[in-house]
Amino acid sequence: MTLEERFAALSTATVSDALDKLGRPGSLLGIAPLGPGRSLAGRAYTVRYVPAGDPPGTVGDYLDDVPPGGVVVLDNAGRADCTVWGDILTAVAHARGVAGTVIDGVCRDVHRALGLGYPVYSRGRFMRTGKDRVEVAEVQGPVTIGGVQVRPGDLILGDQDGVLAVPRDCEERVLEIAEGIAAREDAILRMALDGATIAEARAAHGYHNLQRKETP
C-alpha cells in the first residue's frame, strides 16, 4: 500500500490524535463535508483568494493543472458572502479524477457535487458568485484553512468528522503513530466486548496516553 492508501484507511479522529501527540496542528476547524458518505485523501493543490481589485482579476483557471488524485484547497478567508466553487468546477474535477475540494469559504450548485458523489468540504453553501468579488492572489503557495497553514503537497484527509492536513515533514511519523493508535483502540474495543470493564480495557492498552503529547 502507498502512504496515501494507508492514511485513507484511517479515520480523521485517529490521525488528529496522532498530530496531537506530536504537538502539530492539522485539524481544519469549521470545515465540514457537504453531504453524507463522502471521504477523501490526496495531496493539496492550493489557491489563495483576496478581495477583487479595480479592475477585478480572475477567479482562476487553475483546475487544468490539478493532477488526478489531488485535492483542491481554496483559501477564501472564510468568506460566506460569495463562493469560489460551483457546478462547472465540480463536474470537470470529478471527470478528471480529482479527489475532492476543501474550501475555507462556501460553495454553490451543491446538487452537482451530491449527485456525483464528489467530496466537497466547506463552511457552508451560498449561491452568490465570487466573480468580481474575489480574485486569485496565488496558486501553489501556503494557505490558511480553518486556522491551519496548508502547503502544496500536504496530505489532506477527510471523512464525516471533518478534514485535516498532515504536514509533509512529519507525515511518516504521524502515520506510524496513527496506525498504532488504531490498533490499540481496536484491542480496547475487543477486550470490552469480551466482558472486561471499560476501565480495565483502557488501562490495559494505555488509552489515556494515546494522544498525549510526546516529551523530548
Annotated binding site for Mg(2+): 109
C-alpha span between 173 and 201 (Å, rounded): 26
Q: Which residues are annotated as a binding site?
A: 86-89, 108-109
Neighbours of 43 (CB within 10 A): 18
3-state secondary structure of 142: coil
Helix (H, G, I), strand (E, B) or coil at 77: strand
Residues comprising the binding site for substrate? 86-89, 108
Cα 107-112-116 angle, rounded to 5 deg: 120
Return the SS3 of 45. Answer: strand
Task: Identify the CA nearest to 72 among candidates 96, 50, 32, 99.
Answer: 99
C-alpha 27/C-alpha 145 separation (Å) is: 9
Instruction: Identify the three-state secondary structure at position 85.
Output: coil
CB 149 within 8 A of CB 143: yes
Helix (H) / strand (E) element for 145: namely strand 143-145
